[in-house]
Structure 1
Amino acid sequence: MKKKVALLAPAVALGLTTMAGAPAMADHAAGSYSTTLNQVNNSGASGTAWIDVNGTEATVTIETSGLAETFMDNPYPHVQHIHIGAQGTCPTMADDANGDGIVSTPEGQPSYGMIGTTLSLEGSTGPEAGTDVTVAPSGSSFTYERTFELNQETQDALANGTGVVVVHGLDPANQPAAATETMSSLPGAESLPLAATAPALCGPLDMQPAGGADTGVTAAEPAAEESNGMGVALLGGGLLAAAGGAYAVRRRMVADR
């Protein structure tokens, strides 16, 4: 059982951008992909991610620890995605273009690209779910397991070696002053602190040899879900609503659809 945040106000899209679909290619991404999730922005977090692709169906398992734990005394929601279409790498502090001590999401995009798939707990894995903190895993440590239909763009990125898992949301207490004193530069997110939308964990996905490699991650039980579309969407206005106290904590199964 996992805690999650249920907000009473809808999430606000922050810079949603769509991309053209790629030509269909049958089973070209089939196989297993994994990565070690390393800290970004000195978050102190760590994790692993494993993706098994069979036809158009993907089983994703992510384990994390050391992330920001609470927001307003409730579990901190961590929006997570498979980013695609760029260099297939993770940003470093050298990518902090404005020198404020934090690599923002836009500063990281030349490395990891736009969102191909939102790794939500339930419902859509499309771009519309990218801002929905009510379906994001939460707390300092969590295990995420889900099986769903993987869109063509993300399949292409995995096959091309440009898929990257990114988990967002920093603890301002462990960040430079800009984390709280500076607002996010993303359109529509000017009222959110920079920490809320910045990346905390990142890992490029690599295909594993037949038979896979031991990452210590156990594959999820199938629970197929519909998925379509792709885009850029970041942590929604739910955090802003939470600042007003408009949310409640409820318990649910992590892999529940």
Structure 2
Amino acid sequence: MRTTTKIATVALGSAALLPFLGAGIAQAADGNTMATLRPVVLNGVKANGTAMVTVKGNRIDVTMAATGLLADSPHAAHIHFGADARHECPKASDDAKGDGTINTTDGGPAYGPIVVSLTKTGDTSPKSGLAVDRFDTAPGGKLSYERGSINVSSDVAQAITEGKAVVVVHGVDHNDNGKYDGATKSDLDPSLPTEATDPAICGALSAAPAGGMDTGAGGTSTPDNEGLLLLGGGLLLAAAGTGAFTARKARNRA
């Protein structure tokens, strides 16, 4: 009888712990990530920017800003991830066509397929990867994007927090005439010129440092990207403050 009671007690104790263990597992992927968006090699873009993605379970909040993009034109933007990808931005050696530019197919081995479409409204799945009417149009060449509570799969959430996801903003003006045109068609949609879908700027997401963003790789500090970095640091501090408040509240209850 005592043995039976002991076994039952142990089993009950294990069962009682399951919700807490589950909660711990669900929260294990939570975190803040950041990326410095730099010009994609070979594409002649002079833009730069930052992106921040906060993971909360199977939802993400995204903030992104950039300058120097083709003004007043739609810029498709996505989070990319592929298990077989290199989890990075393209290299010059990815130019499989040998034409001196990087299109979306060339970039695939580096950053993988679309997993989140960073549209301003509506659907955010890969199906909206070319929903040009719902992406930011970069007024004056400046992109400013913010959207919260985007649903993602657990695999995508884990990829983001593990530094395996890449943010890519598309739209290149190869001939410098201020619009998307040219005889070469997009490898994604032949009704569009390749300029509309070629990757412009790119950055791999990684865990956000407590002290703010590292420009890295010899990146220069300009008034524009200084402001973007300050924005990132401010949001991270706010997130840290919220966490501290939650922890204090929990201790007070105890």
Report which of the two has the higher share of strand. Answer: 1
User: What number of residue pairs does the alignment pair up?
Assistant: 186
Q: Residue 180 of structure 1: SS of its match in structure 2?
A: coil
8 Å contact from structure 2 (residues 74, 171) kept in 1:
yes
Work out the CA distance in 1 between the residues paired with 2:176 and 2:198.
Answer: 13
| Structure 2: gaps (5+ residues) | 1-24, 214-228, 239-254
Shift >6 Å, 4+ stretches: none
Match of 1:163 in 2: 165
Gaps of 5+ in 1: 1-24, 70-74, 222-257
Q: Distance in 2 between matches of 1:197 and 1:64?
A: 17
Inter-partner Cα distance in structure 2 for 1:159 and 1:65: 26
- Work out the percentage of aligned pairs sharing the same amino acid: 38
Q: 1:113 to 1:104 in 2, by over 3 A?
A: same
Letter in 2 for 1:81: H
Amino acid at match of 1:172: H
The amino acid of 1:191's aligned partner reads: S
| Amino acid across the alignment from 1:79 | A
1:32 and 1:212 in contact (8 A); partners too: no
Deviation at 1:45, TM superposition (A): 0.9
Determine the structure 1 residue equivalent to 2:121.
122
- The aligned counterpart of 2:231 is 217
- Provide the residue aligned with 1:144 in structure 2: 145
| Structure with a larger share of its residues in helix | 2
- CA distance in structure 2 between the aligned counterparts of 1:171 and 1:28, rounded to whole angstroms: 42
Whose RCO is larger (CA < 8 A, sep 6+)? 1
The change in CA–CA distance for 1:212 and 1:130 in structure 2 (over 3 A counts) is farther
* Alpha-carbon distance in 2 for matches of 1:185, 1:165: 19
C-alpha displacement of 1:120: 0.9
Q: Larger radius of gyration, structure 1 or 2?
A: 2
Moved more, 33-42 or 211-220: 211-220
Aligned-residue offset at 1:212: 6.1
Correspondence list, 1:47-58, <5 A: 47-58=49-60
> For 1:116-162, what per-residue CA distance to the aligned partner results, in whole angstroms no more than 9, with x for missing partners?
11111111211222221121001211210110233123202113321
Cα distance in 1 for partners of 2:211, 2:135 equals 28
Cα distance between partner residues in 1 of 2:175 and 2:28: 44
Aligned pair in 2 of structure 1 residues 123, 185: CA closer, same or farther (>3 Å)? Answer: closer
Q: Distance in 2 between matches of 1:190 and 1:125?
A: 22
Cα RMSD (Å): 2.2
1:192 and 2:188 aligned:
no
For the Cα contact (< 8 Å) 2:104–2:187, is it kept in 1?
no
Pairs within 5 Å for 1:1-257: 26-40=26-40, 41-69=43-71, 75-85=72-82, 86-139=85-138, 140-152=141-153, 153-174=155-176, 180-186=182-188, 189-209=189-209, 211=210, 213-214=212-213, 215-218=229-232, 219=235
3-state SS of 2:80 partner: strand
1:125 maps to a residue whose letter is T
